[in-house]
Amino acid sequence: MDIDTLLGALGVALPAQGAHMLEVTSPIDGAPLAKVAMQTEADTREAVAAAQRAFEQWRMVPAPKRGELVRLFGQVLRANKEALGRLITLETGKILQEGLGEVQEMIDICDFAVGLSRQLYGLTIASERPGHRMMETWHPLGVCGVISAFNFPAAVWAWNAALAVVCGDSVVWKPSEKTPLTALACAALFERACVAFGAAPPGLLRVLIGGRDIAARLVEDGRVPLISATGSTRMGREVAPRVAARFGRALLELGGNNAAIVAPSADLALALRAILFAAVGTAGQRCTTLRRLFVQREVYGELVPRLIEAYGRVRVGDPLAPDTLVGPLIDEPACRSMQSALASAREQGGTVHGGERIAVPGREGGWYVRPALVEMPAHGGIVCDETFAPILYVMRYDTLAEAIAQQNAVPQGLSSSIFTLDMREAETFLSAAGSDCGIANVNIGPSGAEIGGAFGGEKETGGGRESGSDAWKNYMRPATNTVNFSTDLPLAQGVRWDL
Ligand code: SIN
C-alpha cells in the first residue's frame, strides 16, 4: 500500500500548501513520505483556547460516559491496527511486529481507561470533630499538554490521552517533528470515535505540528495545568523549570541507562534471549533499552561469547520484511552519535563487537547499523551516558552488592533487571537497598512496558509515572471536603474561639 492510500485509509487529509511545510521522510530509505503544514504560535494559543472550552463541557460529563468515548476509540484502533502499525513502521523504522505492538498497547490502555472510568475513587477520612465527615473528591484537572518522542509516536500519547479523557480533561498534543503523520492519523481515528460517540465537544483533542517554539509556548501557557513530556534529559531540563515557574505540574519521562545483572544461578539460555531483545530490539531506541550488562565473573566466559555469536546472527534490514529483527536508526545524527560513543568506548579500553554501518540493498538512504556489544574493563566514563542506539556495554562483577551499586551509579533511573534463580538475590535486588529504578524486573529484560504497571523512573529520568497503577491521579485534582452534619461548630485541634 503506498503512503497516500495508507493515509487515506486512516482518514488523514493533508493540505497541499501552507506557510511553513515540514517534509517527512522515512528512516527506511530516506525517501519523502509527505509534506505537513506546521503550526504557528498563534495556532498554539488558539488550540489551547479551544481545548479549554472543550474541557469546560467535558468535565461535566459523567466519567463512565467519558469512558464510552475511549471504548469507541479502542474499537476504531482495533479496526485500523494494521494500517496504523504500518504507518508507525514507515515513520519510525521499527519493525512491523513492533509497529503493530505499539497499536496493541494503545488498545490496551483504552481498555484500562474504560475500566478506570468507573473507579476514580477517593478516600473517606475519619474526622476528629463529632458530627463531621471528611472525604477526598477527584475532579478533572484541565487542558493536558502532551509532548511525545519519535520512538513511541502513538502509544505514549495514548497512555496520556486515554487517561486524561476519562478523567474529564482535554488534550493538546505536540508530537515529535519526526513522526507527525502518526499523530495526525491518531487524531483522525480519535475523531471517528468522537463522531460515533455523538456528543464530544470540539477541541477535546488538538494536535500541534511544529518545532521547539511551539513546544515552548505550550509549556509556558498558564491555561495548561499539566505538561506530560517524554524525551531526553536535556529536553526535561528545559521543560521542568518553565512549568515550575508558573506552578504547573510536569510529568516527565526522560533518559534511561538501563541495566541487567546476570548472577551465577541464572538460567543462561533464558537470559541470553531476554538480553538480546532488550538490547537490540527497536534498534536500541526504546527508553527502556538495555544498555549496561553486569555479568558475574563465574558465568562471564559462558554467557558473553554466546551473546557475541547471537549478535552476529541478528537480521538487520528493511523493517517491513517479515524476517527482519532490527530496522534502521531514526536518522544520520543517531548513527553519528553511536559511532562517536563507540570511539569513546575504544579509547576507554573497550573491545567493540559489531557497531558498523551496513548497507541494505535498495535501502541506501537508511541508517542501518549492526548492534554493538562492547566489553568494558570497568564501569564509568561513556558507560554512564545514554546513547540512543543499540550499544550494550558488558562488565564483570564479583559480588551482588557491587553489581547493584554500579547499576545505580548513573544519573538515570528508569529500568533494570536481574537474572537469578536465587530467591535471596532476587528479593535483595527488589528491596529498598536494591535497584533505584522505577522499573525493576526478575528474569525478564528491562525493556518494554505492560500498561497495567506505572511507567517511569527516578533521578534524571524525571520522576513521572504514566500508564497503569494510579498514574491517573496526575490528570485530576483532589479536593478535601469536610461536611458538618451536627448543630455545633467545633474547631479542629480543639481550638476555642468564642465571641
Ligand atoms: C519505551 O521503552 O520507550 C516504551 C516501552 C513500551 O511502551 O513498551
What is the CATH classification number for the domain harbouring 138? 3.40.605.10
CATH code assigned at 297: 3.40.309.10
Residues 207 and 90 both lie in one domain: yes
Task: Give the residue, out of 105, 159, 287, with the most ligand 1 atoms within 8 A of its beta carbon, to mutate for a pocket test.
Answer: 287
Say if strands 368-369 and 357-358 run parallel, antiparallel, or are unpaired.
antiparallel
Whether the Cβ atoms of residue 466 and residue 253 lie closer than 8 Å to each other: yes
Residues 403 and 295 both lie in one domain: yes
User: Ligand 1: which atom is nearest the Cα of residue 230?
Assistant: 3
* pLDDT value, residue 16: 73
Which residues pair with residue 229 across a beta bridge?
A: 147, 252
Whether 99 is in a domain gets the answer yes
Determine if ligand 1 sits within 6 Å of the CB of residue 68. Answer: no
Measured distance CA(147)–CA(132) in Å, rounded: 43
Protein residue with least CA distance to atom 5, ligand 1: 448
Boundary (domain end) residue, out of 199, 230, 254? 254
pLDDT digits (tens, 9 = 90+) for 380-406: 999 999 999 999 999 999 999 999 999
Ligand 1: centre distance to CA 447 (Å): 7
User: Ligand 1: which atom is nearest the Cα of residue 105?
Assistant: 7
Task: Give the residue, out of 157, 160, 285, 447, with the most ligand 1 atoms within 8 A of its beta carbon, to mutate for a pocket test.
Answer: 447
Domains contained in the chain, number? 2
Residues 275 and 318 both lie in one domain: yes
Whether 465 is in a domain gets the answer no
Whether 297 is in a domain gets the answer yes
Record the pTM: 0.96
* pLDDT value, residue 17: 77
Q: Which residues are the active-site residues?
A: 253
Measured distance CA(195)–CA(150) in Å, rounded: 28
Whether 388 is in a domain gets the answer yes
Cβ within 8 Å of residue 389, ≥6 positions away: 283, 284, 285, 329, 334, 335, 337, 338, 341, 369
Ligand 1: centre distance to CA 446 (Å): 10
Task: Give the residue, out of 159, 176, 286, with the most ligand 1 atoms within 8 A of its beta carbon, to mutate for a pocket test.
Answer: 286
Determine if ligand 1 sits within 6 Å of the CB of residue 448. Answer: yes
* pLDDT value, residue 251: 98
pLDDT digits (tens, 9 = 90+) for 238-292: 999 999 999 999 999 999 999 999 999 999 999 999 999 999 999 999 999 999 9
Here the cell at position 226 is: 499539566
* pLDDT value, residue 56: 98
Residues 181 and 302 both lie in one domain: no
Whether 490 is in a domain gets the answer no
Whether 417 is in a domain gets the answer yes
Determine if ligand 1 sits within 6 Å of the CB of residue 395. Answer: no
Ligand 1: centre distance to CA 450 (Å): 9
Determine if ligand 1 sits within 6 Å of the CB of residue 93. Answer: no
Say if strands 372-375 and 391-397 run parallel, antiparallel, or are unpaired.
parallel
Determine if ligand 1 sits within 6 Å of the CB of residue 109. Answer: no
Ligand 1: centre distance to CA 451 (Å): 10
Residues 234 and 262 both lie in one domain: no
Determine if ligand 1 sits within 6 Å of the CB of residue 92. Answer: no
Determine if ligand 1 sits within 6 Å of the CB of residue 288. Answer: yes
Measured distance CA(344)–CA(330) in Å, rounded: 22
Whether 365 is in a domain gets the answer yes
Ligand 1: centre distance to CA 150 (Å): 12
Ligand 1: centre distance to CA 259 (Å): 15
Determine if ligand 1 sits within 6 Å of the CB of residue 154. Answer: no
Determine if ligand 1 sits within 6 Å of the CB of residue 160. Answer: no
Residues 150 and 235 both lie in one domain: yes
Here the cell at position 336 is: 553519528
CA proximity to 480, closest of 200, 122, 237: 122
Domain that holds residue 308: 258-442
User: How many other CB atoms sit within 10 Å of the CB of residue 149?
Assistant: 22
Whether 390 is in a domain gets the answer yes
Protein residue with least CA distance to atom 7, ligand 1: 449
* pLDDT value, residue 15: 77
Residues 248 and 264 both lie in one domain: no
Ligand 1: centre distance to CA 298 (Å): 32
CA proximity to 172, closest of 240, 229, 112, 234: 229
Ligand 1: centre distance to CA 479 (Å): 33
> What DSSP assignment string belongs to 189-254?
HHHHHHHHHS-PPTTSEEE----HHHHHHHHH-TT--EEEEES-HHHHHHHHHHHHHTT-EEEEE-
Residues 190 and 282 both lie in one domain: no
Residues 190 and 299 both lie in one domain: no
Boundary (domain end) residue, out of 422, 442, 462? 442
Boundary (domain end) residue, out of 442, 459, 483? 442
Ligand 1: centre distance to CA 469 (Å): 16
Determine if ligand 1 sits within 6 Å of the CB of residue 287. Answer: yes
Residues 303 and 342 both lie in one domain: yes
Residues 234 and 284 both lie in one domain: no
Determine if ligand 1 sits within 6 Å of the CB of residue 105. Answer: yes
User: Ligand 1: which atom is nearest the Cα of residue 156?
Assistant: 7
* pLDDT value, residue 334: 98
Amino acid identity for residue 223 in this structure = R
User: What is the SS3 assignment for 140?
Assistant: strand
Determine if ligand 1 sits within 6 Å of the CB of residue 449. Answer: yes
User: pLDDT below 70 — which residues of the chain?
Assistant: none
Residues 362 and 285 both lie in one domain: yes
